Amino acid sequence: MTNTTRIALLVTLAAVARPSAQSTGPSPLAADADRLAAAVQPKVVSWRRDFHQHPELGNQEVRTAGIVAQHLKALGFEVQTNVAHTGVVGVLRGAKPGKVVALRADMDGLPVTEEVDLPFASKVRATWNGEEVGVMHACGHDNHVAILMGVAEVLAGLKDRLPGTVKLLFQPAEEGGPQIGEVAGAELMIKEGAFDNPKPDAVFGLHVFPFPVGTVAYRSGGAMASTDDLRIVIRGAQTHGAMPWRGIDPIVVASQVILGLQTVVSRQIDVTLTPSIVTVGLIRGGVRANIIPDQVEMAGTIRTFDEGTRDEIHRRVQRTAEAIASAAGATAQVTINRNYPVTYNDPALTDRMLPTLKRAAGAEHVVAVPPTTTAEDFSYFAQKAPGLFLFLGVTPSSQDPATAAPNHSPRFFADEGALPVGVRTLTHLTLDFLAQP
């Protein structure tokens, strides 16, 4: 059973959420917020379909960002554009003093050719890494942008009674920039000051996922994995395939290294602490059958849910690869590029906002779920302020979530019935947090 299938089944069974230690009462503005959310819903659907039909790759979200910026300016937000290339930051200052809440939506599409039969299906083509590709919102970011634009309109309608400040972060390149290893997305937005002046006291975000439509799924603590790129180059000595003793075979060494790396998680790390993964997804070496090459390249990914475990895995991966190669007379050059940190939901904030989630989505639709080994650069924002990142179910009620196409699939489909739940959830999280003393 895949991780996504297991989680989907648990969600379908409706896991019971734990009680809240610090209950959050509803904002006095809740009823008016619901009225405004209902009124803006047709626009949210229209925006979502437009963005879906016109997806843009990371750092190329010029059209999307332009629509967002124009909308925020019309609502009276202070707007900053061209943040981290194409990002948009909007600030709404309420009439009353108070705390600062940040809400984030990612805007980029993926180099995927859409296979869903929709009247607003994407036909866009673009260039990615020097190759012509189809472009699709295969991860559902079109939903995120439309939802946050709807939330912006609701909150702007309450500005005269709003306590505190709301900062909206429309982020480019969540899926990464066009250059490998490039600093982009949330990390670059932070470097360029998007989280400053004013600095948020809390940050909220959500992501559509193949759970039953309207479900709001959460996890306290480590919710999504850190992700790191692994590259290992094994260097031996080239020789004739008929005389292996005259050289050092890097293919055999690489095979031993791959097997050895599997013991890092299974035998060298305390498996009771956190799930972890070391995967080699690429191995390349040699040019013909009767030549033992001089080197082999491997590449893979490392995932875990704890920063201390992350550091320990890095150290042990390097030690294991180098020691195995040395024992055979070869060398191993290990390079680990740290990507997104663990997406960590602040436990106190999660407990405090749980009653809000139940009011916004309906208690029967709010469920606790296991961690997922996918990753999110919302994690950078959650390192700067207490964060809560949620999953919004978009699988139609007529379909088994366990069989739904996952995110990043050309057949990924999002039921628009989830859109009003997304708007209500982010709106009520904002209002209830700001209403607290």
* Cα angle: 384, vertex 390, 393; to 5 degrees: 160
12: pLDDT strictly greater than 60: no
Backbone angles phi, psi at 299, to 5 degrees: -145, 150
* Cα angle: 264, vertex 265, 267; to 5 degrees: 70
Supply the DSSP string of 109-167, one letter for each residue: -BS-------TT----EEEETTEEEE-B-TT-HHHHHHHHHHHHHHHHTTGGG-EEEEE
Domain 3-223+342-435 carries which CATH code?
A: 3.40.630.10
What is the pTM (predicted TM-score) of this model? 0.89
Q: How many helices (H) and strands (E) does the chain have?
A: 10, 18
Can you read off the two tokens belonging to residue 400? Answer: 């088994």
Supply the DSSP string of 274-328, one letter for each residue: --EEEEEEEEE--SSTTEE-SEEEEEEEEEES-HHHHHHHHHHHHHHHHHHHHHT
Q: Count CA atoms within 13 Å of residue 240 on its CB side.
A: 2
20: pLDDT strictly greater than 80: no
Q: What is the pLDDT of residue 184?
A: 92
Q: What is the pLDDT of residue 271?
A: 86
DSSP 363: G
Same fold? 3-223+342-435, 226-338: no
199: pLDDT strictly greater than 80: yes
Is there a catalytic annotation at residue 175?
A: no
- Which is higher by pLDDT, 8 or 409? 409
Q: What is the pLDDT of residue 324?
A: 98
Across 58-78, average pLDDT: 98
Smallest CA-to-CA distance from 378 within 142, 153, 141, 165 is with: 141
Can you read off the two tokens belonging to residue 410? Answer: 């050309």
Mention the CATH class of domain 226-338.
alpha beta
Across 100-105, average pLDDT: 98
Is the dihedral angle over the CA atoms 365, 207, 339, 9 positive or is it negative? positive
310: pLDDT strictly greater than 90: yes
Can you read off the two tokens belonging to residue 67? Answer: 């629509």
437: pLDDT strictly greater than 90: no
How many CB atoms are located within 10 Å of the residue 196 CB? Answer: 11
288: pLDDT strictly greater than 60: yes
56: pLDDT strictly greater than 90: yes
Q: Match 């866009």 to its residue by tokens.
A: 124
Give the whole-number percent of the chain exceeding pLDDT 90.
89
345/391 Cα distance (integer angstroms): 12
Question: Confidence band (pLDDT; 50, 70, 90) for 24?
Answer: low
Smallest CA-to-CA distance from 435 within 23, 152, 19, 17 is with: 23
Across 343-356, average pLDDT: 98
Question: Confidence band (pLDDT; 50, 70, 90) for 19?
Answer: very low
Smallest CA-to-CA distance from 293 within 336, 352, 345, 233 is with: 233
SS3 248: strand
43/191 Cα distance (integer angstroms): 33
Catalytic residue among 153, 175, 340, 376, which? 340
Q: What is the pLDDT of residue 183?
A: 85
Question: Confidence band (pLDDT; 50, 70, 90) for 180?
Answer: low
149/157 Cα distance (integer angstroms): 13
Q: What confidence tens digit (pLDDT) does each residue in 202-259 have?
A: 999 999 999 999 999 999 999 999 999 999 999 999 999 999 999 999 999 999 999 9
Q: What is the pLDDT of residue 2?
A: 41
What are the residue ranges spanned by the domains of the chain? 3-223+342-435, 226-338
Supply the DSSP string of 164-195, one letter for each residue: EEEEEEEES-TT--SSTT---HHHHHHHTTTT
How many CB atoms are located within 10 Å of the residue 380 CB? Answer: 21
105/437 Cα distance (integer angstroms): 27
Mean residue pLDDT of the chain comes to: 93
Is there a catalytic annotation at residue 416?
A: yes
Q: What is the pLDDT of residue 178?
A: 75
Q: What is the pLDDT of residue 273?
A: 87
Q: What confidence tens digit (pLDDT) does each residue in 154-178 have?
A: 999 999 999 999 999 999 999 988 7
56/1 Cα distance (integer angstroms): 33
Q: Beta strands 202-212 and 216-218: pairing type?
A: unpaired
182: pLDDT strictly greater than 90: no
Question: Confidence band (pLDDT; 50, 70, 90) for 426?
Answer: very high
